[in-house]
A and B are shown apart, each in its own frame.
Chain A
Amino acid sequence: MRYSIKEGMLSWLLHRLTGIGIFIFLIIHVMGAIYLKIGPEEWNHHVELFNTPFFRVAEVGLMGAILWHGLNGLRIIIIDFSGIRTSHFAKFLFWIIVFLTILLMLPGTYILLKPLFEGVAG
């Protein structure tokens, strides 16, 4: 039997998951820099990898994760230090950051996924 999931718990769950996701990305990101030491050919090959459809879609996820993690951090600061102490306000802020995350993801998603569809058309 599980505890009922409300907005606050959902935000915490997403905060954790996105935190782990960002950490895994950072490992890949930093380890990738090793190719700089190996040689220019290998580095170019490594960077080409991020042009593949899989990584382009994954980067959309990465962008969402970073946006959520950052905005939820701001939400926690606002709840703690604004002095407005109602659960309605906390829930309102939750839906505000859901909206902001989706809104801010739209242009980036367009830029990241556009080449994929161009490839299909061309």
Chain B
Amino acid sequence: MSILVNLRSRQGFIEMLRVFRIQRFNPEREPNQWVDEYTLEVNEDDKILDILLKIRDEVDTTLGFRASCAHGVCGSDGMMIDGLNRLACQTFVGDVPGRKPINIAPLKGVPVEKDLIVDMDPLLDKVKSVNPWVVAKEHKAGERELLMSQEDFEKIEDMTKCIWCSCCTTSCPSLWSDSDYLGPQALVMAARFILDTRNEDAEKIIEKVGGLDGVFRCHTIGNCTDACPRDIDVTGAIAAVKKVLLQGIDNEDKFSNIVWEKGDEKE
């Protein structure tokens, strides 16, 4: 859709005035929270990040936000734009249709440090808490690297695209109401390393995500899937973890001593 918007505006150079309402926060000011409005002449194919940079450079130098690569790879400029979590560098002015003001606010459910900058540590600690890494089995003599089959990789390919922007976790109402909930991002990582056939320590991950604040706090709301800038099926990944917890996984040998008995497992 953004490509179409690009072409149209390049042909006609549609310049228009749009209002940007940005939620501000400064712990040293009283009141420490307020909303600023900026009216700018913009094109439909201007990125929100470019507009934030323009505001910071030309209008208000106190505006704080994170951005690094500006090409949707580093995942540092996640914010709430027009009521949805997205990357500012991947969202165009034309993505918010009409002439209404564009609301920009920091990610929800985490402490704000300054304007659009939030404290990511609690979220990243949650991801680390599920052991998102491969614990490899011992190498056999002559074996140079651990391989997995093409089919096995296709199962987890979607989840390996995660850029840790936390747009999914901070769009989750379950997390807003229970800050101890692991959240979609940690559960995607859990799914990715549970289903990774090279990982010998999947039982540990399963133990961690099966608790009270684990995978069953997910109510399949779907905000995370809508928010993901990499189009990962986040709710689907969480559903995969739920299935592993309830049914066990295809690899019986590896998962025989965890989760509930499947009955006649070996056909």
Q: Contact residues of A with B, CB < 8 Å?
A: 1-4, 6-9, 11-13, 15-16, 75-76, 79-81, 85, 87, 90
Q: Which of A8, A13, A16 has the most CB of B within 10 A?
A: A8
Q: Contacts A1-B103, A3-B80 given: A76-B219 contact, CB under 8 Å?
A: yes
Of the A-B pairs whose beta carbons lie under 8 Å apart in the complex, a sample of 11, sorted by A's number, is A1-B23, A1-B103, A4-B82, A4-B84, A8-B219, A9-B173, A12-B219, A79-B220, A80-B242, A85-B233, A90-B222
Closest Cβ of chain A to B112, distance in Å, is 12
B83 close to A11 (CB less than 8 A):
no
> Is the CB of B161 closer than 8 A to any CB of chain A?
no
Main secondary structure of the interface of B (DSSP, over half): mixed
Closest Cβ of chain B to A80, distance in Å, is 4
> Is the CB of B135 closer than 8 A to any CB of chain A?
no
Closest Cβ of chain B to A84, distance in Å, is 10
- B177 in complex: contacting residue of A4, A8, A16, A90, CB < 8 Å: A16
Size bracket of the B interface: 20 to 34
Q: What separation, in Å, do the CA atoms of A91 and B219 have in the docked complex?
A: 13
- Which A residue's beta carbon lies closest to that of B236? A85
What A residues does B23 contact at CB under 8 A? 1
For B69-102 the 0/1 string (1 means CB < 8 A from A) is 0000000000010111100000000000000000
> Is the CB of B43 closer than 8 A to any CB of chain A?
no
Q: What separation, in Å, do the CA atoms of A81 and B243 have in the docked complex?
A: 7
Q: What separation, in Å, do the CA atoms of A8 and B173 have in the docked complex?
A: 10
Q: What separation, in Å, do the CA atoms of A16 and B178 have in the docked complex?
A: 12
Closest Cβ of chain A to B103, distance in Å, is 5
B222 close to A8 (CB less than 8 A):
yes
